[in-house]
Structure formats: C-alpha cells, structure tokens
Amino acid sequence: MGQDVTLAEFQRRIERIYYEKDAGRGLSGTFMWFVEEVGELARALQRGQREEIEEEFYDVLAWLSTLASIARVELAGAMEKYGQGCPKCGQAPCRCE
C-alpha cells in the first residue's frame, strides 16, 4: 500500500484487517482502545522521539478509521467538510477569531 492511497481506500484496508474483531468489541469498547492509543501518542509527543511519534500517529489513524467504520462514518467526508478551507470562515489558512 503506497502513499498515494485515498482516505477511503485506507478505511477499506483497515476494515479488511480489523473490522470483524473491532465490530465484535462494539463502538464503546473500540472507542476505549482508540482513547488508549491517543494517550500513547500524547506520551510519545512528550518524549519527542520522532520514530515513536510517527508510529503512534499511524496507530491513532488506524483506530480512528475502524471506529468510523463501526459507526458507519466515511472519513472521506472530511475532505468535503474541509476541502475549501475552514468550514466556518471559508479561508485557508483559517482566519477565525
């Protein structure tokens, strides 16, 4: 899987790997795992070790993706919401106060 994969393709890949197990755990159980991964990212950011930070970002994205799939949310919808800039002021970069 290369770097030119769309967000939708990434979400489908994560579904193929983890959906059955994560859906069995349920939305709230999977959300707790997601929160744990966010905590690991926070600790990695505090330590400042680049390789660890990257790995934790990747894990958070994968858990967010599986959580979205269980909730029947297409993450690619974020492209529509943020595709023209800030959804509030419409600017890029954001000019909101």
Domain ranges of the chain: 7-82
Name the residue among 10, 38, 26 with its Cα closest to residue 70.
26
Percentage of the chain surpassing pLDDT 70? 98
pTM score above 0.95? no
Which residues, at least 6 apart from 61, have a Cβ–Cβ distance to it below 8 Å? Answer: 10
41-82 pLDDT, tens digit per residue, is 999 999 999 999 999 999 999 999 999 999 999 999 998 999
Question: Of all residues in the chain, what percent carry a pLDDT higher than 90?
Answer: 94
The class that CATH gives domain 7-82 is mainly alpha
Q: Average model confidence (pLDDT) for the chain?
A: 95
Residues 6+ apart with CB under 8 A from 27: 67, 70, 71
